[in-house]
Amino acid sequence: PAVPAAGRAAGPPEPTLSYPARGTGNFRTATARGAVAGRSGPLLRYRVAVEEGIDEVDVERFGREVAVILADPRGWTGGGEWRLQRVGPDEPDDFTVLLATPVTRGELCADPSDHYTSCRNGDRVVINVARWARGVPQFDDLGSYRPYLLNHEVGHRLGRGHELCPRAGGPAPVMEQQTLGLHGCLPNAWPRVDGALHTGPSGQYDDPIPAED
């Protein structure tokens, strides 16, 4: 059975956000500048933005959620390999985390037929609001799925490719495509497990992409 991320108990589903299939294509950007997360390694600065039309997501709150996840010691900044810092709209950045509607996701990811998954395309980390709002069946709750979703796509921006389940019954690597299937692993939201980077063999499964919600 699926297990929640460490420190979280499974509970009733959170209320589902409402969102349009297509937004305006324009984005509002969070204004806050955050502290540097991580003690050593190259520093990458990122902005956070939400597509206009996703009216139930406050961009500043979403920016805070992203920053908390990316600063978690179980995340990419926890091992000394990377530092990350959230910046405002007028500062130089290395990538942008975009919360996008399903149709806009298809356009930004250069894959217009896929309205289900998220992606990284160049310096854009595109989070599909459908997955942010609804999660996937493999995860018990959004509180464990959302960190997985963000950590997986940011992992691509940090140069990491897809990975396979290394051991049935053990935690999935965060770079496994857990949105589409677990292949014997248990769901895991974080790059680091028990204080160490948790990885699997390079590769990906030929899982079908579900139709849009």
Question: Residue 211: its pLDDT value, please?
Answer: 86
CATH ID of 27-163, from 3.30.1490, 3.40.720, 3.40.390, 2.60.40:
3.40.390
**Is the full-model pTM beyond 0.85?**
yes
Q: Using 50 as the pLDDT threshold, list the residues of the chain that sit under it.
A: 1-13
Question: Residue 14: its pLDDT value, please?
Answer: 54
Q: What letter represents residue 116's amino acid?
A: Y
Name 208's Cβ contacts closer than 8 Å, sequence gap at least 6. Answer: 180
Question: SS3 sequence, 118-181?
Answer: CEEECCEEEEEHHHHHHCCCCCCCHHHHHHHHHHHHHHHHCCCCCECCCCCCCECCCCCCCCCC
Residue 58's nearest CA partner among 23, 29, 92, 97 is 29
Domain boundaries of the chain, sorted by first residue: 27-163
Question: Residue 63: its pLDDT value, please?
Answer: 98
Question: Residue 16: its pLDDT value, please?
Answer: 77
Report whether 157 contacts 123 (CB < 8 A).
yes
Residue 199: CB atoms within 10 Å: 16
Question: Residue 11: its pLDDT value, please?
Answer: 42
- Work out the burial of residue 1: count CB atoms within 10 Å of its CB; fewer than 13 is exposed, 13-18 middle, 19 or more buried: exposed
